[in-house]
Each structure stands twice: as C-alpha cells, then as structure tokens.
Amino acid sequence: MSELTSSAELLELGSQNHMMVSELTVTLTWTAAVDLDLMAFYKTRSGDYGGVYSEMYSDGGQGSLDSFPFMRLDQDAGVSEREGSSSETLKVRSLEELAELHLVAVNFSDAAYNKESAFVNFDGRVTIENESGQTFTVVLASKDMGSAALFATIAHSNNLMGPVLSLTNASKVMSFSELRESTPGASELSLANKLLLKGRGDSAPLMVSDGGGVHATLRWKANVDLDLHCFYVTQASAPSQGGGGFFSKLFGAGSTERLSTSGHIYFRDRGSLSQAPFIELDQDAGIGDQGGDNEENIHFGDISMSQEAIIVANIFNKPNACFGDYDGSVIVKSGEQEVVVPLVEQTTGVWSVITKVENGAGVPTLMNINRVQSACPSAGLV
C-alpha cells in the first residue's frame, strides 16, 4: 500500500524503525474529493483500550494534550468532499502510558454508504514527525479495495536508556467492519451518528430525543462574514374541548387555538427559547471578514413547534459570492445524531439556502437544498 521513508532509507511493508521519542505529530493530507478521517486507536500498558477521532462520530472524542490520552486531533476536514488540499493533524504529547498505538485513515465517503475504493486514487499521505524533527512518510498508494487503511503501528520496546518506540509500516486496507473487529480500541467506532447529505435533494429523518431539541451549526474558515438565518413557519393547532356546557364556556376550559405564523431569526432578531417561536441564534461571527474557526448556532427548543424551517447563510457586502469556495458546512444535531450538509453550490449570489427541516408528517426530516440566489428566501416557498 505504501512507502515509509526516513531520509534516504526506504522501509518495506512490515519493516520497523526504532526511535527514542516522547512526542509525535501525525498529519494526514489529501487532495481528492473525498472525506478522509485520521484516527488513532490505542492499548494502554494496563490493558485498557480507546481511540481518538472526530467528535462527529458516535462516542467520538478528539482527545486532550493536557490529560490522558495526551493526544489531540485538530479537526474533521474534507466534509464538503471538494477537490483541493485537505489535512488533519494528530499531536501526541506523551506515549508513556501506551503499549500500542494504531494509526488509521477512514474513507467516510465510502464507509457511510457501504462502498469500497482504492486509496491510491486519493493522492494521500501521512507524515509522522518526532520532537527532534525526524520525519517518516507513508504514501497511501494501495490498489486494494476498502474503506479503512491501517498505515502504521507504534509500540514500546524495552531499552535500558528509556522508552524506545518501534514504528512499523502496517500498510493494510480493510472494510470498516474489519477495522472495528481487528484493531484494538476500535470496537466502539460507529458510523450511525455521522451522516453526510451529499447531493441536492438528499434527506434523512431526525431522531429527536425527549424535549425536541435540535441544533443547527454553520461553520466556515474562509475570510468572509457569513450570517446564519432561519426562516420558519410554526405549527397550527386546533383548540381542545373541555367538558362543554355553561361553566366550560364561562371559565375557558380546554386550550385555545394556535394559529400558524411565519418569521425570521437572524442577528438583529435572535429569537427566544422560552417563548414563541422557540428558536434562538447564539451569536454573529466572522465580523470584518475574519477567517478561522467561525461558528454560528441556531437552537430549536422544540422542533415539533415548527412546521417548516429553512437554514440559510447570507454573506455581507459580496453580491457575487460563491458559497462553495468557503469551506463551509451546516451540522444539524438531534440527540446523539449529527447530519452534515456541506456548502458546495458554485452559483453566485448573496443567499445560500442550505437545508430545510419539514415536520408536516410528525417526523422531522432534514433535506439538502444547496441553492444560491440573489433574492431573500422565505419559508413555505422552498
């Protein structure tokens, strides 16, 4: 599957390199239009197991450098599946408590749909660097079919001078289920809660927990000022009947009729979770075209109160914006479920209608819209 090199030395499949090391930086890079995920699974010297991988997976955790397991994944890149440079980096501050560390790349684009591809098509590679600047490179060049690649394992070796790590070129491509079965610490890994709606019109039911809370997050990194909006239509309800008769009419027994209303949540009217429409925006990020880890969130206190809600991004002072160039996505969270809708539309405009929640049949459904337009949208017309 790969070449593992240090300076001019070429390590073949299964060969090892020994080094005294206390810290590591592992970086996965690729250019293909695919969502790869860097993961690390470990076994401790005391026999415990675990993993560090994107929080968008069920039971996922990106770790910590200040407490066990003393490793941290920086981000989940490539969710928009666009061609171009993508990277994820895992920093390891201490390996002292670990007996084994297994480094893995998962092709989520295939694993989510039970498909398999050859990693050679992704222009991917992994660099492993210690604190002394010694670097090893693993080129993901296998023609074997699969959705996961175990590219290196690291284990402690006995040495009187201190901990010595043995780096092995593992180079094994496998299915997602094989990864879970054969890799220590990977048995809890699940695809259930990382769902990607790739195509326009793709949809998925939202598994709403008790209370009906749903959260929509807009994330982007480009140097632009995006603003998250929600256009909504509330559910109407007929009045419930009391016991009837004189006293029922006199004291108003039963509930009153609730009419359907429409509205707009954005930075100038952030809404409320404690009263109608039970929808609230948290903040206005990216002001002044500030790039980086920008994020805005819209919270639905009870999604059953909404008949329809569309999640929209507007851009400030750029009338011919191309939203597909901003490395952005909307992540909708409902209970333990997370659904990703990437911003991919290349048509220019100032409004990007990203996704819609429909609740007409009693089960809320999320749909990928990804439509860019110049006119301000409104719920009920999308």
Rounded to whole angstroms, the Cα distance separating 349 from 343 reads: 13
Better-predicted residue by pLDDT, 197 or 247:
197
Domains of the chain: 4-194 (2.60.60.30), 203-373 (2.60.60.30)
d(CA 312, CA 307): 17
Give the per-residue pLDDT at 254: 55
pLDDT attached to residue 192: 65
Give 361's pLDDT tier (boundaries 50, 70, 90): low
How confident is the model at residue 158, as a pLDDT? 56
pLDDT band at residue 142 using 50, 70 and 90 as cut-offs: confident
Predicted local confidence at residue 9, as pLDDT: 35
Question: Is residue 363 pLDDT above 50, yes or no?
Answer: yes
| The model scores a pTM over 0.75 | no
pLDDT tens digits, residue range 262-279?
Answer: 999 999 999 999 998 999
Question: Collapsing DSSP states into helix, strand and coil, what is residue 120?
Answer: helix
Question: Given this model, what pLDDT does residue 381 score?
Answer: 63
SS3 content of the chain, % helix, strand, coil (to 5): 5, 45, 45
pLDDT at 237: 73
From CA 349, how far away is CA 312, in angstroms rounded?
12
Q: How confident is the model at residue 205 (pLDDT cuts 50, 70, 90)?
A: confident
CA distance 139 to 146: 16
By CB atoms closer than 10 A (0-12, 13-18, 19+), residue 249 is: exposed
Cα dist from 276 to 74, 217, 355, whole Å:
38, 21, 22
Q: Is residue 110 classed as helix, strand or coil in its secondary structure?
A: helix
What are the φ and ψ backbone dihedral angles of 216, each rounded to 5 degrees? -115, 125
Assign 1 a pLDDT band (cuts: 50, 70, 90): very low
Beta strands in 158-267 (DSSP E): 164-174, 194-196, 203-205, 214-220, 226-234, 262-265
pLDDT digits 0-9 by tens, 150-184:
988 888 765 544 445 666 655 689 999 999 999 99
Mean pLDDT of the region 314-319? 92
Per residue in 109-134, pLDDT (tens digit) is 888 777 898 998 998 888 888 888 88
User: What is the rounded average pLDDT for all residues in the chain?
Assistant: 83
pLDDT digits (tens, 9 = 90+) for 24-81: 999 999 999 888 999 999 999 999 999 999 987 867 789 999 999 999 999 888 776 6
Cα 118 to Cα 1, 83, 123, 176, 303: the distances in Å are 10, 17, 11, 14, 41
Does position 18 have pLDDT exceeding 70, yes or no?
Answer: no
